[in-house]
A and B are shown apart, each in its own frame.
Chain A
């Protein structure tokens, strides 16, 4: 088998292998279902609850994407401000670090008081948890301008705005797209956290209900669905990244002739 094919199939081997070890361990050690259900049981449960799982996943997905969309807009604006202005950088950076250190699960109850139980706290939690890497990456991209290039442009009479538009933003694009794939998985974490604490819809809510009924296989079915959605979104944005910023990795653009 060729190296490339092997590399492409490897993730599937690993996943299948993982499930097999898990299956064998559960059967061999006769682990009770309410502690750790075997993959076959989880699979059965997933099929049995396919309807509700689907509905709740779609809800979680939309919530996540809504929060993520706000995070992209907010993160880019914040990153631009921090990266382009040393004054804003020095003023905001400690505040941002502090904000990022707060466990978002602790904020959810506050959001519930403000907005009530439902989708809004989940969207906001997804936003809060995922805007930070976007902002930091955009700011980094802007701040890593070569001093010599800046000299060239300024001696031509370029304004700060010119430099931002012609050099800063294009340069920060690879950083931006790299942050998107990380941020979207974080957004899932945020929305599911909020759903388990304060929602009556979504995969997090479904799992909380299941676990209160000791329906552990359904909890695991939910976990697998979340993981699957996370993987799909990650690779979706990784593909977007590859398409948009080929010049940064120098492989997506074949020679012109």
Chain B
């Protein structure tokens, strides 16, 4: 896929030093086209979650620039949907009310929610059905299994139809079967809505299955050391994961990451 003229997300030589002096990312440059689904992989602690914070404006870069949707990011975005490994649903709300939470915050839904509640509830229930949670709306999150909570958390990130979806290891805590099932669900929703997506993951098969493009980060301080365009046809299925092309991509990613890790070990040895 050719990179279009105006990327939706663009990081230009971004660095970020946390208070306390940790240089989390340095010289981080990448861009994601509108409607593209990107994945970010890299060794643990290399700054992947930091990248998510930078893109969404939750953290300000110490150097370099972050541009989203044509604007320099200067504060929290207001248009993003986010989901994490931890579902963070509110235990005192039903699953349905948890889904409605973003609509109580984001305009124009916020203004309309009271009047058009029935329509919004409809929308939420349809989304729940999409991820296999039909009929679970009135349950409280603690009455759902971990996998079901994660599905609900994904719905909450999607309910306001964000132009940008940010996922930080959303399936990290799930069993292999549930995880693979949710890949398909997520791919379906994405193919239908074509939002821009950035997915952080430790699972290289997940990255190749879902992404149009995979960025490999170096050890901390993180920067992009390799970029892969994944040209596998969509919709991808579990069968896709058994094709040689898929296997080769996963293998190449694995090599890159182990190289990044040994490089880090060497620099540490030299330093000590």
Q: Which A residues contact B (CB, under 8 angstroms)?
A: 146, 148-149, 151-158, 162, 166-167, 170-171, 173, 247-248, 250, 253, 255-256
Contact = CB atoms under 8 A, between A and B. Distances in A.
Given A170-B92, A247-B142, A157 B84 contact: no
Contacts of B9: none
B139 A157 contact: no
29 contacts: A149-B88, A151-B82, A152-B82, A152-B83, A152-B88, A153-B105, A155-B56, A155-B57, A155-B58, A155-B77, A155-B80, A156-B102, A156-B160, A157-B77, A157-B79, A157-B105, A157-B106, A157-B107, A162-B105, A166-B101, A166-B104, A166-B105, A170-B90, A171-B90, A171-B92, A247-B140, A247-B142, A248-B92, A256-B143
A117 B98 CA distance: 54
Contacts of A146: 86, 88
B78 A155 contact: yes
A159 to B, nearest CB: 9
Contacts of A247: 91-92, 140, 142
B70 interface: no
Contacts of A162: 104-105
A154 B58 contact: yes
A173 B91 CA distance: 12
Contacts of A167: 90
B125 to A, nearest CB: 15
Nearest to A149: B88
A200 to B, nearest CB: 47
Interface string B87-101: 010111000000001
Contacts of B101: 153, 166
A151 B58 contact: yes
The 4 closest A-B pairs by CB, nearest first: A157-B78, A149-B88, A155-B80, A155-B56
A154 B88 CA distance: 14
A158 B101 CA distance: 10
A167 B104 CA distance: 12
Given A166-B104, A247-B140, A253-B140, A155 B91 contact: no
A256 B76 contact: no
Interface in B89-131: 90-92, 101-102, 104-107
B143 A156 contact: no
Contacts of A170: 90, 92
B184 to A, nearest CB: 24
B263 to A, nearest CB: 30
Given A170-B90, A250-B142, 7 more contacts: A155-B77, A156-B80, A156-B106, A162-B104, A171-B92, A248-B92, A253-B140
Contacts of B91: 247-248
Contacts of B107: 157
Nearest to B101: A166
Given A154-B58, A166-B101, A148 B86 contact: yes
Find the residue from A149, A157, A158, A162 having the highest chain B CB count within 10 A.
Answer: A157
A249 to B, nearest CB: 10
A248 B140 CA distance: 11
A151 B56 contact: yes
Contacts of B58: 151, 154-155
B53 A158 contact: no
